[in-house]
Amino acid sequence: MDDIKQIIDRALAEIKNADLAVLEDIKTRYLGKNGVLTQILKSLLQYSIEDKRIIGLETNGAKDIIVSEIEKRKKSLKKVLLDEKMHKEKLDYSPSFYFPFSKGSFHPVVQTIKNISSVFKLLGFSIVEGPEIETDWYNFEALNIPESHPSRDAQDTFYIEGMKNLLRTHTSPVQIHVMEKQNPPVKVIVPGRVYRNEASDASHSSTFHQIEGFEVDENISFVDLKAVLINFIHQFFGSELGVRFRPSHFQFTEPSAEVDIQCFFCNCGGCRICKNSGWIEVLGCGMVHPDVLKTVNYDSEKYTGYAFGMGVERITMLKYGIDDIRLLYENDLRFLKQF
Ligand code: DAH
């Protein structure tokens, strides 16, 4: 019995530091045909039945211990080898290895939409989109723009399919879609692409973007409109800027205003960008016309609202000092990479 215990101790000591080849050797020496333990089993004949049983049990127990220790050691050696192999043969899957190109970025117009949207989100607005192909009713009629109104002129509007449908000329028709679907309170902004049938030059393009915004609820007044827009302008352009509301006219708002900011290019001294006035026009706005509210079956005695709309390209150009709108569509990488 003492012999068997010693055999186990010896085998375990050898297994501890063995590599794969040595493990095979250990297996042969202890468990093989002529192995130490096999020899013991072969010698059992000379013992009494009781001794045979005890020695046999111990020897087989020793075999089990040694086999399981050898397997354990093998497993851990294989893991170490695999880890080493993985480390040595590691492939670099990182983008810089496979794509030696510079990282892409958002187009400046998209960046402006994102920046403006995030300011309005903080002010409690949600973002909604609407269709680019509209009917005459949504684009004009429902917004209180009568048939005779000059903005309906086929020269400004891209009509399709026999003048029934058109490419929206502004994002304002989405006001109607939203209010048709939802009862007050509503408070949304609508970024989107719009189309006008006009020749392109440094400040005009037949396709451009607008952001519309409006809120309708009980007790909404011009004060709310001013607060929201001044807050937006200060967050977007700078907190020190002077803002002025100038009376204007839009069919779907009454009263209507245009909003100017102090020219930050010349500090109001007068320059080419502000046409020597010291002020730059940034958006149109007003209180939603009661007729528009009636069109969507809102109770215009109970609810009031304000609306505003701005050109994204214009704002982008002002913000970054870009003097030609066409730069925003040419997609020249030398230009885009600056953003
Ligand atoms: N839809 C107008 C345009 O394209 C912009 C605008 C002006 C939108 C006043 C408004 C608003 O919501 O209240 O010129």
pLDDT in tens, 37-69: 999 988 888 888 898 899 999 999 999 999 999
Q: Determine whether the annotation assigns residue 254 to a binding site.
A: yes
Q: What are phi and psi of 277, to 5 degrees?
A: -95, -20
Give me the residues paired with residue 135 across strands: 165
Residue 95 in domain: no
Last residue of one domain, picked from the residues 58, 88, 118: 88
Q: Are residues 126 and 70 in the same domain?
A: no
> Which two three-digit tokens encode residue 223?
């004060």
d(CA 125, CA 224): 13
Closest Cα to atom 12 of ligand 1: 308
Residue 199 in domain: yes
Q: Does any ligand 1 atom lie closer than 6 A to the CB of residue 309?
A: yes
* Side-by-side strand order, sheet with 159-160: 133-135, 165-167, 159-160
Q: Are residues 201 and 57 in the same domain?
A: no
Spatial contact of 269 and 161, defined as CB atoms under 8 Å apart: no
Lowest mean pLDDT among 62-71, 97-106, 153-162: 97-106
Shortest-distance atom of ligand 1 to CA 175:
12
Look at residue 273 and tell me whether its pLDDT is greater than 90. no
- Ligand 1 pocket test, candidate residues 149, 250, 304, most atoms within 8 A of CB: 250
Q: Are residues 305 and 159 in the same domain?
A: yes
Look at residue 29 and tell me whether its pLDDT is greater than 70. yes
Q: Are residues 75 and 117 in the same domain?
A: no
Residue 314 vs residue 91, higher pLDDT: 314
> What pLDDT does residue 175 have?
98
Residue 283 in domain: yes
Q: Are residues 116 and 81 in the same domain?
A: no
* CA atoms within 13 Å, Cβ hemisphere of 296: 27
> What pLDDT does residue 96 have?
63
Look up the domain containing 13 and give its range: 2-88
Q: What is the DSSP letter of 104?
A: P
Sequence-separated (6 or more) residues with CB below 8 Å from residue 306: 214, 215, 220, 222, 224, 225, 228, 253, 285, 286, 287, 288
d(CA 296, CA 289): 12
> What pLDDT does residue 265 have?
87
Look at residue 95 and tell me whether its pLDDT is greater than 70. no
Shortest-distance atom of ligand 1 to CA 169:
4
Residue 209 in domain: yes
Q: Are residues 129 and 11 in the same domain?
A: no
> What pLDDT does residue 150 have?
84
Tell how far the Cα of 306 is from the centroid of ligand 1, in angstroms: 11
CATH number at residue 298: 3.30.930.10
Q: Are residues 327 and 258 in the same domain?
A: yes
Which residue pairs from 60-66 have beta carbons closer than 8 angstroms and sit at least 24 positions apart in sequence?
62/4, 62/7, 62/8, 62/11, 62/37, 63/30, 63/31, 63/37, 65/8, 65/12, 66/8, 66/11, 66/12, 66/15, 66/26, 66/30, 66/31, 66/37
Shortest-distance atom of ligand 1 to CA 253:
13
Spatial contact of 335 and 327, defined as CB atoms under 8 Å apart: yes
Q: Are residues 183 and 280 in the same domain?
A: yes
| Model confidence, pTM | 0.72
Length reported for the chain: 339
Say how many domains are in the chain. Answer: 2
Residue 324 in domain: yes
Residue 158 in domain: yes
Q: Are residues 156 and 257 in the same domain?
A: yes
Last residue of one domain, picked from the residues 24, 55, 88: 88
Tell how far the Cα of 339 is from the centroid of ligand 1, in angstroms: 28
Look at residue 99 and tell me whether its pLDDT is greater than 70. no
Query: For residues 60, 64, 70 and 75, what is the CA-based torsion angle, rounded to 10 degrees?
Result: 160
Query: For residues 149, 150, 155 and 157, what is the CA-based torsion angle, rounded to 10 degrees?
Result: -50
Tell how far the Cα of 284 is from the centroid of ligand 1, in angstroms: 5
Tell how far the Cα of 152 is from the centroid of ligand 1, in angstroms: 15
N-terminal to C-terminal alpha carbon distance within the chain: 83
Residue 103 in domain: no
Average pLDDT, the chain: 92
